Amino acid sequence: MRLILTALLFAGGLMFLFIGMGFLLDPATAGADFGVIPDGAMGRASLRADFTAFFVVAGGCMIWGAWKRKGDPLLVSAALFGIAFIGRLVNLVSVGAYENYWMPMLVEAIAVVLCLMGSRLLPHTAFTSQDAA
């Protein structure tokens, strides 16, 4: 069970890391895949900065947690994807559904479940006063 969970976390993390790199290298194309079109240099900079940060941090924490068999970094990814899921849910309720609205929500929900399972099954690092020094 742990091996399968670790493999899924690592593979998911790689996928999100590649999505993040797509926003860094070609924000217009990556943004179009997400229904976001940049408006000039500022729009490209925002996509490049914000989306890259989201996906690289979320994916990187999933990879780190899986590789080191640590549950702590997975909580960061779970929080990021959980907030994204809530944002989509608020949009669904306030604006309504759009074509294939459920697909990104499903991906985010699966990421949250995997990260929370990993957080519970993989050990946590004990913080000591020596760590702060």
Task: Encode pLDDT of 9-33 as tens digits.
Answer: 999 999 999 999 999 999 999 999 9
Length of the chain: 133
- Residue of 113, 122, 14 whose CA lies nearest to 62: 14
pLDDT digits 0-9 by tens, 90-107: 999 999 999 999 999 999
The pTM of this model reads: 0.89
pLDDT digits 0-9 by tens, 43-82: 999 999 999 999 999 999 999 999 999 999 999 999 999 9
Computed on alpha carbons and rounded to an integer, the radius of gyration of the chain in Å comes to 16
**Positive or negative, the Cα torsion across 62, 113, 7, 47?**
negative
Cβ 14 vs Cβ 64: under 8 Å:
no
**Residue 125: DSSP 8-state:** P
- Cα distance between residue 57 and residue 51, in whole Å: 10
- Cα distance between residue 115 and residue 133, in whole Å: 29
Helix (H) or strand (E) holding 43: helix 40-46
DSSP letters of 31-97? HHHTT----HHHHHHHIIIIIHHHHHHHHHHHHHHHHHT-SHHHHHHHHHHHHHHHHHHHHHHHT--
